Structures are given as structure tokens and as C-alpha cells.
Amino acid sequence: MDPFTKDVIHIIKTIPFGKVMTYGQIAFMAHKPFAARQVAWILHAMSLKESLPWHRVINAKGQISLGGEMGLIQQSRLIDEGVQIINKRINLSIYGYQPEREGEDNED
């Protein structure tokens, strides 16, 4: 497994209950800011094997990207965690998880 994949898996595993992150945020946190689609592929390929909380990953608009039954399952799981979905959107300022990126010093 390459380092980016390992980083993505680690980041997704750290998303807390009742919070969400976007594919782009995860890519940025894993030091590949333009790799959101790659994050989606990793999530698709590794969710079961790595027991990832896949339902906590949404698109940059604050929406569930999955359609059909999987989208309904994702929505249901998020609602069960207390995440409100209004007009098919999740308010990222309320429910978005913003961890500090490793290697960044936020002291002033």
C-alpha cells in the first residue's frame, strides 16, 4: 500500500462520530490537494477491508455523492449520528471536521 493510501485510510478513520469531511479535505490532509477522485477510489476499494466510516465522507458542496440505495444508507447513517441534512445538504460549518494537518505548526 502506497503512503498516500495509508494516509487517506488513517484520516478517514479519525473522522469523529457526527462529523463529516469532504474528499478534497482528505486529499489536502494527505498532502495531495488535487487528488479528491483518488480519495473516492480508495474509499470505494478499501471501506470494507479497512472498516472505514465511509458514510462520513461527502462532496465539497456538502452533499452525499452516492446515488440510489447506497446514498440512502449514507444519509440514514449520518442522520443516526445526529447530522442534519436540509435540502440535501450538510452544513459543513456545523458538521465539518477540520483536523490539523500533520507537519503544520499553528502556534502564533
Q: Each residue of 19-68: pLDDT tens digit?
A: 999 999 999 999 999 999 999 999 999 999 999 999 999 999 999 988 89
The pTM for the full model equals: 0.89
Instruction: Reply yes or no on whether the pLDDT at 108 is more than 50.
Output: no
* pLDDT grade for 105, boundaries at 50, 70 and 90: low
CATH assignment, 3-95: 1.10.10.10
CA distances from 3 to 6, 7, 25, 91, 106 (A): 5, 6, 17, 31, 24
pLDDT, position 71: 93
pLDDT, position 100: 81
